[in-house]
Amino acid sequence: MNITIFGSTGGTGQQLVRIALERGHEVTAFARTPKKLEVQHSHLTPVEGDIRDAEAAALAIKDADAVISAIGPTPGSPDDLMAKAAQNIVSGMKAHNVRRLVWSTGAGVKAPQDEPTLMHKAISFLLRLISKDVLENSLRGAETIQNSNLDWTIARAPMLTNECRKQGYQASFVGPGMGRTLSRENFAEFMLDLAENAEWVQQMPAASDK
């Protein structure tokens, strides 16, 4: 598959690029500073650009079979960052007839099927208290993706860690069986599995470490 990865130089994005190449995919890695990529490979095409530039985003999508976004807001990010990123990715995909999109976000973005425990509710309350702007930025991006008619999946994660993958991940909705953490490696595996298959289309599954 030809996979375009946005946010490719972040902690999760680097894992996405590495594992996608290990699986034999052709990877287009879009980033503001491609030289930050930690891997070089004959099947890797780095593309320099700003996700707020619709033309640049569309060009990176041109030959893709699937698109994965590992873009995430940070404190101080523009309020419209995620909505703008989503708009540009969706419009680029429609322009080039690309259907499969995997969009990453945090578990604080809720799905109708969630059955949060008291712990999950407490964490959500803290997120709104401590990182209200980040959460609202994420919600805007997710809403834009949900309103597209693409074959999207919004992949949600709890607290991400840099631990090496151990027993793999489990995917469900937020509820009693969901763990508190997810390694970036496992999150990358989860998103790549989604991109390769037609599972969870137009749904918002959450993953956690087993």
**What is the tally of structural domains in the chain?**
1
Give per-residue pLDDT as tens, 8-19: 999 999 999 999
Residue 88: exposure state from Cβ atoms within 10 A (0-12, 13-18, ≥19): buried
CATH of the domain at 114: 3.40.50.720
- Specify the pLDDT at position 165: 74
Range of 20-29, 72-81, 101-110, 163-172 with top mean pLDDT:
20-29
In degrees, to the nearest 5, what angle opens at C-alpha 169 toward C-alphas 128 and 116? 35
Per the structure block, which two tokens stand in for 94? Answer: 């429609």
- Would you place residue 76 in the very low, low, confident or very high pLDDT band (cuts 50, 70, 90)? confident
Helix axes 132-146, 118-130, angle to 10 degrees: 110
Which residue segment(s) compose the domain that 29 sits in? 2-209
The DSSP secondary-structure symbol of 158 reads: S
User: Of the ranges 84-93, 140-149, 171-180, which one carries the lowest mean pLDDT score?
Assistant: 171-180
- Specify the pLDDT at position 175: 87
- Specify the pLDDT at position 123: 62
Per the structure block, which two tokens stand in for 87? Answer: 């708009």
